[in-house]
Amino acid sequence: MAVTASMVKELRERTGAGMMDCKNTLVEADGDIEKAIELLREKGLAKAAKKAGRIASQGLIQLAFTEDGKKAAAIEVNAETDFVAKNEEFVEFVDTLCDMVLNNDVKDMDEFMTLKYMDEGTVQDALNNKIAKIGENMSIRRFVKCEEPGVVHVGYVHGNGRIGVIIGLKTEASLEDVYTLGRDLAMQVASMNPRFIAESDIDQEYIENEKNILIQQALNEGKPQNIVEKMVVGRLKKELKEICLLEQSFVKDTDISVKQYIDDTSRALGKAVEVTEMVRYEVGEGIEKKEENFAEEVAKQMNN
């Protein structure tokens, strides 16, 4: 029986095994998917599928840079427990994946998963192998590559890979000249989590929405309609200072803003410096974490 691409796809979805393993096993099973599943299980290649339902909300953020700082990459790879996130093999796996992001030009996750990973086949194959070996569900959640003409990149990783930040600085100064500035800004972003670089980056629709919310809050507080508008202008300005990097108080010197710190550094260097890129990844942000009874979890682990 001829093996089709749709059959390989179905077997992959049902077992989590690698593409070539699925194809070869389907050929061996003469196109019988149920038989192929049995063969994959016998070979230990379908173990990953048993873990796929578990929520992987722990993990690691890694960054990578070219020596001149002109290219940078960040990746988040998730696992189920913080213990595995500190596993040496897992850490090396994430390091290698981040280097692959830096050194390849891929448009999305699907394309990235098909890249060749050492002698293990594709990235997808390598991921399945790690899941089977380490015994936890894992996922490559997201990645980004930063590369813009005239921009140098500096990064900071906080909390053993819990948060990773990349800052892109457009300047004629060298990476060495702006490294301290870039690292300070990356630490600022890690700590204060701004949503935007500058007020000019904020979508007008977002500003109007926030303004309407603040107006309603003021009215609910019983403030007179004639002073609400003035109150809202002040409150909105305060909020925008908190969510825009350049408007925030500089954490190392709260007497000045981040913008003032950049301007002071630019004057000292005699060269303009502009923040044009800001990437902040935090492990597990936005992932729904399942609450489970600890005793039940231990029992599950013992039965696996």
Q: Are residues 108 and 124 in the same domain?
A: yes
Split into its structural domains, the chain has a count of 2
Q: What is the band of 294 on the pLDDT scale with cuts at 50, 70, 90? A: very low
Q: Are residues 177 and 119 in the same domain?
A: yes
Q: What is the CA radius of gyration of the chain?
A: 25
Q: Are residues 125 and 171 in the same domain?
A: yes
Domain membership flag for residue 199? no
Q: Are residues 43 and 76 in the same domain?
A: no
Q: Are residues 64 and 181 in the same domain?
A: yes
Residues facing residue 212 across a β-bridge: none
Q: What is the pLDDT of residue 298?
A: 43
Whether the per-residue pLDDT at 30 is higher than 80: the answer is yes
Q: Are residues 69 and 156 in the same domain?
A: yes
285, 279 Cβ separation under 8 angstroms: no
Domain membership flag for residue 259? no
Q: Which domain holds residue 87?
A: 58-190+277-284
Q: Are residues 130 and 171 in the same domain?
A: yes
Domain membership flag for residue 104? yes
Domain membership flag for residue 155? yes
Average pLDDT for 267-295:
81
Determine the Cα–Cα distance for residues 244 and 242; give it in Å rounded to an integer: 6
Q: Tell me: the pLDDT tens digits for 35-86? A: 888 888 767 676 555 555 556 679 999 999 999 999 999 999 999 888 888 8
Task: State the number of CA atoms in the 13 A half-sphere of 278 facing the CB.
Answer: 22
161, 61 Cβ separation under 8 angstroms: yes
Here the CATH number for the domain that contains residue 72 is: 3.30.479.20
User: What value does the mean pLDDT of the chain take?
Assistant: 87
Domain membership flag for residue 105? yes
Q: Are residues 43 and 87 in the same domain?
A: no
Q: Are residues 23 and 84 in the same domain?
A: no
Q: Tell me: the pLDDT tens digits for 77-120? A: 999 888 888 889 999 999 999 999 999 999 999 999 999 999 99
Q: Are residues 35 and 64 in the same domain?
A: no
Here the CATH number for the domain that contains residue 30 is: 1.10.8.10
Q: Are residues 80 and 130 in the same domain?
A: yes
299, 189 Cβ separation under 8 angstroms: no
SS3 content of the chain, % helix, strand, coil (to 5): 50, 20, 30
Q: Are residues 184 and 77 in the same domain?
A: yes
